[in-house]
Amino acid sequence: MSAVLEVTDIKKSFGGITAVDGVSFDVREGEILGLIGPNGCGKSTLFNCILGQLTPTGGEVKLDGKVVTGLRPAELNKLGVSRTFQLLQVFPKLSVRENLILAGQEHQGNMASRLVGRSDAGLTETANQMIGFFKLDHLAAEPAGGLSYGQQKLLDAAMAFMGGPRLVLLDEPAGGVNPSMLSDLKERLVAINREKNATFVVIEHNMEFVMSLCSRVMVMAEGKVLAMGRPDEVRKNPAVIEAYLGH
Amino acid sequence: MSGLGKSLKIALGLAVIAGLIIVPMNFNRYGLFILSQWAVMTIAAMGLNLTLGYAGQVSLAQGAFVGIGAYAAAIMTTHGWPLPVAILVAIILSFAVGWVLGYPALRVQHHYLAFVTLAFSTLAFLVFRNESWLTGGIYGISNIPRPHFFGIPTNKPLPFYYVCLGSLAIVSVAVWWLIRSPWGRAFMALRENPLRAQSLGVDTRRYTLMAFAIGSALGGVAGALYAPLTQYIDPVPFNLSLSLDLLMMVIVGGAGFFLGPFLGAMIAVLLPEWLRFTEGYYLMLYAVAVMLLLIWSPTGILGILDRYLAERRTKAASALRAVAKSRLETAQ
């Protein structure tokens, strides 16, 4: 399996604090990689460096073998990298369907065709499929701000898939989602991973969720990679137990 | 039911349009002037509504763009150019200047951005006043001609009112199209959550600049109609207070609502006339009314309507749920 994403020696410091301290790893085509570690260990900062929200102090990010370090988030998204955020990020005044159309429209045509072309950029059908897939049918026309937290979380994830991304970075998708909805979410993620051959990197604190979803897990502590391996290997690693999982 | 609501809306819209065409036929010169002014100010406020209401970029410079459009039209038409060409030049000029003014918005937001645009507004006023070789300075430009359309002169108030109304119609259709296009959706995304928009591939830089440029261009259109409407311009109408007036029209009407500027401009242009009987007090009454309105509904007049409709929808939805629930219980 070839690497979709190669991260080499990424560093990011804020003033005197080094949040990410020389992290290297790669993500293989089609896998679901888990990223765990204590709060403040640099997981989200690493995501932001990879995705162009932050400029890394040092290091290199390669997508399909091409250097993409320093590209803007919108440019990376056009190259097929999508994400969700730790905190909910939907557009509250737009309806569920409009949120999804927005999430896909910039991947259709160009600026001019988006102005003079169809108002839904030809995406209503795709949006409806996504709505059905995430079981949001009865809410399609509601403003996203009126949905429950868990439903917004599903919408948030659904939006990340609208552009047909190859690589999706999910930042705590399970946070604040109730157990029944969580198993739904997991089922959806696995289905998209298999059917669309999308590669995932998932930050999550819910160990059961991570261990059952991911093929490999990377553990970070204090800005560094502490361990990397299969879920069962990582779970037994003494350093990981010490730093994160607890006895 | 929604089908009926839609046809009712269309009927109401047609009635208003017919009213705007027919009723003013009996108006005197002054009434027609006020109504023309309403149409012109609505165009300028629609531009600001695009920049501020939809794309969320604060601007205190819309009045300056009305000035740029007005001077462009005044200078060109007094040198023999036809008005449509002058309007085109006004659009291109204010679009370009608006685009440049958008660059600070890529770095600063909210009240910082307000200050940048305020400075620009002052700068534009100083150019209008001091560059007398071009603008006539404090003496302004007089004898601005009105155009002939299809051989019909628009020197009289009624034909020129129709020119303003027709322009408003064209601008309205264009803006309606724009906000329903993917661009409109991207503008709203820019307003609600630029960070998330970026991560979904929305080129926030380009859309921010576009929001400024298009909004400013509409200010230019309004100016290019204002000049032949008054047939005399000097720098004073285009100072900061016009920008503030336009801002108030957008906010009072309802920022981010398509019909907000129509309503806001109506209040700003007509209310002073209706309150004329109060003599010196009308500005005070106006100020108090605006304050009370914004305490009651920070989202403007259309915000009240929007809230009412949302409440009704919620009630209808919970009634449906209640019916569904009782059915379930009976089934059990």
Predicted confidence (pLDDT) at residue A16 exceeds the cutoff of 90: no
B101/A4 Cα distance (integer angstroms): 40
What is the pLDDT averaged over residues A40-58? 93
ipTM: 0.90
Evaluated on CA atoms B291, B292, B295, B301, the torsion sign reads negative
Name every chain B residue with its beta carbon within 8 A of the beta carbon of A91. 188-189, 192-193, 196
- Across the interface, whether the CB atoms of B195 and A117 are under 8 A apart is answered no
Predicted pLDDT at A12: 95
A128/A96 Cα distance (integer angstroms): 10
Taking Cα atoms as reference points, which of A146, A208, A158, A152 lies closest to residue A183?
A: A208
Predicted pLDDT at A180: 85
Q: What is the pLDDT of residues B164-221, one digit of tens each?
A: 999 999 999 999 999 999 999 999 999 999 999 999 999 999 999 999 999 999 999 9
* Identity at A135, one-letter amino acid code: K
Predicted confidence (pLDDT) at residue B239 exceeds the cutoff of 90: yes
Predicted pLDDT at B332: 52
Where b means 16+ CB within 10 Å and e means fewer, B26-46 reads eeeeeebbbbbbbbbbbbbbb
Name every chain B residue with its beta carbon within 8 A of the beta carbon of A90. 196
Q: What is the pLDDT of residues B276-314, one digit of tens each?
A: 788 778 778 888 888 898 899 888 999 998 888 888 877
B246/A223 Cα distance (integer angstroms): 51
Using 50, 70 and 90 to split pLDDT, how confident is the model at B316? confident
Predicted pLDDT at B36: 97
- Which of B60 and B105 is assigned the larger pLDDT? B60
The shortest C-alpha distance from B9 to chain A (Å) reads 20
Instruction: Give chain A's mean pLDDT.
Output: 92
Predicted pLDDT at B165: 97
**A91, A152, A159: which to substitute to probe chain B, counting the most B Cβ within 10 Å?**
A91
The shortest C-alpha distance from A95 to chain B (Å) reads 11
Predicted confidence (pLDDT) at residue A5 exceeds the cutoff of 70: yes
- Across the interface, whether the CB atoms of B201 and A121 are under 8 A apart is answered no
Of A116-125, A200-209, B82-91, the range with the highest mean pLDDT is B82-91
- Structure token pair of residue B13: 């819209």
Predicted pLDDT at B201: 94
Predicted confidence (pLDDT) at residue B322 exceeds the cutoff of 80: no
> In sequence order, which residues have a C-beta less than 8 Å from that of residue A85 and are 6 or more positions away?
A156, A171, B195, B196, B199
Using 50, 70 and 90 to split pLDDT, how confident is the model at B80? very high
Using 50, 70 and 90 to split pLDDT, how confident is the model at B1? very low
